[in-house]
């Protein structure tokens, strides 16, 4: 087998010079096929970005903070009368648990036309009511729940998730025979 590329120089008719280049692409082809197979396993980086980073780090921090970085509206006097004093979004702890990967958490993986995605969040019926930036009306439509968006993705979060994908992609490229130059 020739090592790519292999070149030979010969003399052509009438004193002209002919250069023949032969390249064996079998190793490159195998590397691309291996990379294609490894890149098809996108659940790993999707889980790392969605579950491990967003839910277990970013969203968990949002639930632990009730002032400062997260500027949520404080409880109304009616809420305190009804439920007593408690941290924002943490009355029973069920919403926090379901939003940070515990009981009530869901993640669904999708692939459509080569695009991989993950949809994740809390399966509790009231989770979406609390997550609206402008608030929402609940039950009878008479009382409004203030907006306390716990699931929003900031540009910093998006950059971090991109970095997770890039690191994973580079690892798969290395495992497939491609090396950084």
Residue 173 has what pLDDT? 84
Distance of CA 72 to the CA centre of its chain: 25
Give the tens place of pLDDT for each residue, 38-77: 777 778 888 888 888 988 898 888 887 755 445 677 777 7
**28 plus 53 within the same structural domain:** no
2 pLDDT more than 50: no
Domain membership of residue 180 (yes or no) is: no
**18 plus 44 within the same structural domain:** no
**64 plus 112 within the same structural domain:** yes
**19 plus 98 within the same structural domain:** no
Give the tens place of pLDDT for each residue, 153-175: 889 998 999 899 889 888 888 88
Strands (E), the chain: 6-11, 17-22, 105-112, 115-122, 136-138, 143-145
- pLDDT, averaged across the chain: 77
How many Å apart are CA 151 and CA 100, to the nearest integer?
10
Q: Which of 101-115, 123-137, 156-170 has the highest mean pLDDT?
A: 156-170
Q: What's the burial of 32, exposed, middle or buried (CB within 10 Å: 0-12/13-18/19+)?
A: middle
**28 plus 47 within the same structural domain:** no
**24 plus 57 within the same structural domain:** no
The 3-state DSSP class for residue 7 equals strand
**3 plus 58 within the same structural domain:** no
Q: Which residues of 36-61 are buried (b: 16+ CB within 10 A; e: fewer)?
A: eebeeebeebbbbbbbebbbeebbbe
**66 plus 152 within the same structural domain:** yes
Domain membership of residue 81 (yes or no) is: yes
In DSSP notation, 145-173 reads EPP---S---HHHHHHHHHHHHHHHHHHH
Domain span holding position 21: 1-33
pLDDT band of 8, cuts 50, 70, 90: low
- pTM for this model (two decimals): 0.66
**18 plus 62 within the same structural domain:** no
How many structural domains are present in the chain? 2
Domain membership of residue 146 (yes or no) is: yes
Is 119 in contact with 108 (CB distance < 8 Å)? yes
**21 plus 81 within the same structural domain:** no
**4 plus 48 within the same structural domain:** no
**111 plus 164 within the same structural domain:** yes
Domain membership of residue 138 (yes or no) is: yes
CB atoms within 10 A of CB 150: 22
The tokens for 162 are: 């991109």
Kindly report which listed range (44-58, 95-109, 136-150) carries the lowest average pLDDT score: 136-150
Before 5, cis peptide (omega within 30)? yes
């Amino acid at each position: 087998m020739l090592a790519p590329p292999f070149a030979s120089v010969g003399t052509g008719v009438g004193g002209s010079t002919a250069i023949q280049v032969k390249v064996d692409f079998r190793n490159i082809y195998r590397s691309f096929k291996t990379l294609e197979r490894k890149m098809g396993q996108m659940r790993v980086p999707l889980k790392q970005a969605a579950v491990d980073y967003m839910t277990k780090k970013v969203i968990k921090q949002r639930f632990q903070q009730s002032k400062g970085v997260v500027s949520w509206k404080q409880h109304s006097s009616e809420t305190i009368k009804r439920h007593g004093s408690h941290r924002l979004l943490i009355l029973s702890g069920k919403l926090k648990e379901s939003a940070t990967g515990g009981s009530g958490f869901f993640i669904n993986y999708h692939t459509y036309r080569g695009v991989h995605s993950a949809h994740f969040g809390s399966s509790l019926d009231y989770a979406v009511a609390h997550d609206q930036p402008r608030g929402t009306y609940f039950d009878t439509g008479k009382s409004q729940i203030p907006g306390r968006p716990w699931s929003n993705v900031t540009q910093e979060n998006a950059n971090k998730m991109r970095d997770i994908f890039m690191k994973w992609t580079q690892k798969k490229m290395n495992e497939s025979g491609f090396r950084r130059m």
